Chain A
Amino acid sequence: AQSVSQHNHHVILSEAASLELGCNYSYGGTVNLFWYVQYPGQHLQLLLKYFSGDPLVKGIKGFEAEFIKSKFSFNLRKPSVQWSDTAEYFCAVNARDTGRRALTFGSGTRLQVQP
């Protein structure tokens, strides 16, 4: 079974600061990787996803993530955060070589951006 670790539980940044949120997974097979965002009071929205190919993927709202297979990592980055990026961010993974396909989520990182 796979597991996902998000080591930063709560991050506080000032506007224009750079952001990097860590995500590590444990699974020996081929995986799909996702970052979802949950704005206050809203449902989960897909930020970006990685299936295969270029390990640097770009998502919505200026976010990007890099898949480093050797480190089992899929860290989320943004060069300059805005107050509107205040939200909770979830990394998730599912295994491509099983039929299950349900997502395994990390515990989430709460990002607070101060104006």
Chain B
Amino acid sequence: DADVTQTPRNRITKTGKRIMLECSQTKGHDRMYWYRQDPGLGLRLIYYSFDVKDINKGEISDGYSVSRQAQAKFSLSLESAIPNQTALYFCATSDLMPDATDTQYFGPGTRLTVL
């Protein structure tokens, strides 16, 4: 979805380095999510945020941190990258529907390789 952008699209880094992945959206959605995709495992939730002041851990938050700088921006940081964090990372957004019929829209992904 072109309304959800991620930078960088590809990144190769070394073990121990700090990395930040950024996500921006122009959809005006309150909710933003970070997932990682590994072959054979589907997508797994790292963190999610319902608004600027509300950040929650997902299933696999260890080794990651996030920052919600504004409604439109949600960054994912790897404080000290390790090789098993090599994966494809997706940002997603959704609006808050009062009847719980939220639909998530995904960014293009960031392919991260940790050597």
Residues of chain A having any CB pair with chain B under 8 Å: 4, 6, 9, 32, 34, 36, 42-46, 49, 51, 90, 92, 94, 96-97, 99-108
- Whether A43 lies near B100 (C-beta < 8 A) is no
B103, B104, B106 — most chain A CB neighbours (10 Å): B104
- Which residues from B are CB-within-8-Å of A45? 1, 106
A–B Cβ pairs within 8 angstroms, 23 of them: A9-B40, A32-B101, A34-B103, A36-B106, A42-B108, A43-B1, A43-B90, A44-B43, A45-B106, A46-B103, A49-B103, A51-B101, A92-B43, A97-B100, A101-B94, A102-B33, A103-B33, A103-B43, A103-B92, A103-B104, A107-B40, A107-B41, A108-B40
Residues in B whose Cβ lies below 8 Å from that of A49: 103
A76 CB → nearest B CB, Å: 15
The closest CB in chain A to the CB of B38 belongs to A107
Establish whether residues B42 and A107, one from each chain, have CB atoms under 8 Å apart when the complex forms. yes
B residues with CB within 8 A of A: 1, 31, 33, 35, 40-45, 48, 50, 56, 58, 90, 92, 94, 99-109
Q: Roughly how many angstroms separate A107 CA and B37 CA in the complex, as a whole number?
A: 9
Contact A101-B100, Cβ < 8 Å, known A9-B40, A43-B109, A46-B105: yes
Summed over the interface, the residue pairs from A and B with CB atoms below 8 Å come to a total of 60
A46 to B33, CA, bound (A): 16
Contact B41 A43 (CB under 8 A): no
Contacts of B33 in A (CB 8 A): 102-103
Measured between C-beta atoms, what is the minimum distance from A14 to chain B in Å? 25
Determine whether the beta carbon of B31 is less than 8 Å from that of A101: yes
From B45, which residue of chain A is reached at the shortest CB distance?
Answer: A102
The complex places the Cα of A94 from the Cα of B104 at a distance, in Å, of: 10
